[in-house]
Structure 1
Amino acid sequence: MNAKQIIVTKNSEEKEFYSEDKLRASLRSCGATNNQIDVIISQINAHIYNGITTNDIYKKAFSILKKFDRTFASRYSLKRALFELGPTGYPFERLISALLKEKGFKTKVGVVLQGHCVTHEVDVLAEKDGIAYAIECKFHSDSRATSNVKVPLYINSRFLDVQKHWNGNSNNGTHLKQGWLVTNTRFTKDAVDYGKCIGLTLLSWDYPKGNGIKTNIDSYGLYPVTALTTLTKKEKQQLITRDVILLKELYYNIQVLQNLNISANRIRQTKNEMGKLLHYDTFTNGTR
C-alpha cells in the first residue's frame, strides 16, 4: 500500500492520513540532517501499516534519532518531556517563570493576591518597566486535553478582581495591566478568539504561531530535565522532587546526580548531552 494512503490513529483517537511531510518537518526541527531524515522515514515507511498510531511512529523515530545524536532525540521528545513534568503544575510554572526572566521580567511563583472581592493565588506574577502581569498556568498530563473558552472566561474574571484591588492600592509601585493564560497543550478556536477580544495574552505549545512554548524553549535553551535521554524516568522525577527543573539548573548543580548514586560515567554522558542541548562548551565551564 502507498504510504500516502495509510491511515494513522492520533492520541485523540481521531484518524488522519499519514503525512511524510509532517514527519520530515518535525525531524528537521530537532536538528536532524536530510540524510538522517531519509534513513528514518525509509525505515518507518518499511514497517508502516493501516491503523498505526502516531505514538508508534514517534517511538520508532525517537529510537533511531537516539542512535544518530541524543540531542536530536531530546528536542524531538520535548512535547512529551513537558507532560512528564507533572503530575502537579508547579514545575511547569517554574519553567514559565524562567522563560519570563529570560525576557527581562522579575517573577514570583505562587503568589496570593488580594482581589476586590476575594483572594486569589496567581501562578506567576511578572513585573517589568513598572507594569505587572498576572499569569495563570494550565498544565495537562494528557496530550488530548485542550483549554476551551470557559478557561479564559474564568481566568479573566479572576484577573479583573485582582486588578481592581491592585491598581486601587497606592502602595503598589506597578500598574497591573494584563492577565496571561499559558498551557502546555492547545487552546480551542473560541478560547483564542475570546482572548484576542478581551486582551488576554495566550501562550500554548504552538500559539502564537512562531512564538509558542516550543519556539521559546528552543530559543532560550530552557529544556526541562525530563528531556534528557541519558537518565531514567525515575531519576528525572527524583530531580523534580528536589526542585531541579531545568537543564541550566542541573548543569551547574551536577552533584545532585551523585546524590542519586548515578555512576561517574553516566554523569559525564548526561553533562555532555546537556552541554550540546544548551550550546555550552563543557571545557570552558558552560559559557555560551
Structure 2
Amino acid sequence: MEIDTIDIIKSSGEKAKFSLNKLKASLKRVGTDDQTVNHIISKVKDELYHGISTKEIYNRAFALLKKKNSHLASKYKLKKAIYELGPTGFPFERFVSAVLEYSGYKTSVGSILQGKCVSHEIDIIAQKNNVTTVIECKFHSEKGLNCNVKIPLYINSRYNDIKTYWNSKKNKNTLTNGWLVTNTRFTKDAIQYGTCANLYLLSWDYPKNNGLKDRIDRLGLYPITVSTLLNNREKQFLLSRDIVLCRSLIGDYFYLDHLGISETRKKKILNEINLLCNV
C-alpha cells in the first residue's frame, strides 16, 4: 500500500491524504533529532490503514516520542494541552493574559467597559505604552470546530460600541483595534472580514509564523497542561490557583509542595519545566 494514497480522517470529519512530510515537520518543529524522527515515522507507517484518524496517528507518535524524550513530548502535545485548559473558556483567557504579560502588557481579565449603547464584559483588557487593547477570546473545547465569520462580526460590533463611548470621553490612553483570539482556526470568511474591519485575529496558526503556537514556542510560555509528568488532578489544582504557565512554577515550588509531591518527582517535574522554558 502506497503511503500517499492512504485516506485519513481529520478531527473535523473531513477526509485527507496522509502526509509523511506533515508528520515529519510536526516532530522537527519541537526539536526532535533526525534519528528519533525516522524511528517514529517507521513505526507509524507500519500501523497506517485507510480511515485512520489523525488522533490515532498523533497518539502513536506522541507515545513513541515520550519514550525517547519527555520534554519534547510535552511540546508536541501543545495543541491538545490548549484544549485541556477547558471545558470553560476562563483558563484560556488567563493563559492568553499571561502570554501578553510576558510580552510587556499590563492586563486585567473579566472587566466591564461601557459602550455607547450598553456595557460589555470584556475577556481581557491589555495596556502598553498608553495604548489600550480590548481582547475577546473564543475557546473551543471540541476539536474540529473552527471560528466562523459570525464571531468576528459580533466581536467587532461590541468593540465599535465601546470605542464610540471611549472616544467621547477623551481618555488619556488610545483605544486600538480590537482583538479576537481563538484556540482553533479561523475560516476564510472570518479572516477576510477581520482584515477588512481592522479587527486583529490571532489563532492557533494565524497570522502565519506569528500564531498562538509560534508565540508560545518562541517565548517558552507553555500552559501547565503540556506536562507529561503532572496528572490531571494536579493540573486542575494548579489551574484553580491561577497557575496557567509552566514558567510560573520556576523558583516557586509552593504549589508543588502543597500537592504533596515527593522530592524525587518534584525534581523531575521542575527539570521538565526548565527544559520547556529554556531556563
TM-score w.r.t. structure 1 length? 0.94
Query: Percent identical across equivalent pairs?
Result: 49
Alignment map for 1:125-136 (pairs within 5 Å): 125-136=125-136
Q: Tell me, which stretches of 5 or more residues in structure 1 are unaligned?
A: 281-288
Residues 125, 135 of structure 1: 8 Å contact kept? yes
How many equivalent pairs are there? 279
Give 3-state SS (helix, strand or coil) of 1:186's partner: coil
Name which of structure 1's ranges 230-239 and 70-79 shifts more when overlaid on structure 2.
Answer: 230-239
| Bigger relative contact order, structure 1 or 2 (CA pairs below 8 A, ≥6 apart) | 2
**1:238 pairs with 2:237:** yes
Q: Tell me, which stretches of 5 or more residues in structure 2 are unaligned?
A: none
Write out per-residue CA displacement over residues 126-155 of structure 1, whole angstroms, 9 at most, x where no aligned residue. Answer: 122222111000011112111111111100
Give the match for residue 187 of structure 1. Answer: 186
Per-residue deviation at 1:125? 0.7
Per-residue deviation at 1:102? 2.5
Output the amino acid matched with 2:260.
Answer: N
Give the match for residue 111 of structure 2. Answer: 111
Give 3-state SS (helix, strand or coil) of 2:176's partner: strand
Give the match for residue 261 of structure 1. Answer: 260
Name which of structure 1's ranges 197-206 and 249-258 shifts more when overlaid on structure 2.
Answer: 249-258
Give the match for residue 55 of structure 2. Answer: 55
Residues 202, 212 of structure 2: 8 Å contact kept? yes
Q: Distance in 2 between matches of 1:244 and 1:16?
A: 38
Output the amino acid matched with 1:85.
Answer: L
Write out per-residue CA displacement over residues 256-284 of structure 1, whole angstroms, 9 at most, x where no aligned residue. Answer: 1221222222111100000100111xxxx
Alignment map for 1:1-288 (pairs within 5 Å): 1-170=1-170, 172-280=171-279
Q: Distance in 1 between matches of 2:153 and 2:234?
A: 38
Output the amino acid matched with 1:39.
Answer: H
TM-score w.r.t. structure 2 length? 0.97
Q: Distance in 2 between matches of 1:253 and 1:179?
A: 35
Q: Which runs of 4+ in 1 moved over 6 A?
A: none
Per-residue deviation at 1:48? 1.4
Q: Distance in 1 between matches of 2:105 and 2:238?
A: 26
Output the amino acid matched with 1:259.
Answer: H
Per-residue deviation at 1:45? 0.7
Give the match for residue 283 of structure 1. Answer: none
Q: What is the RMSD computed on CA atoms of the aligned residues?
A: 1.1
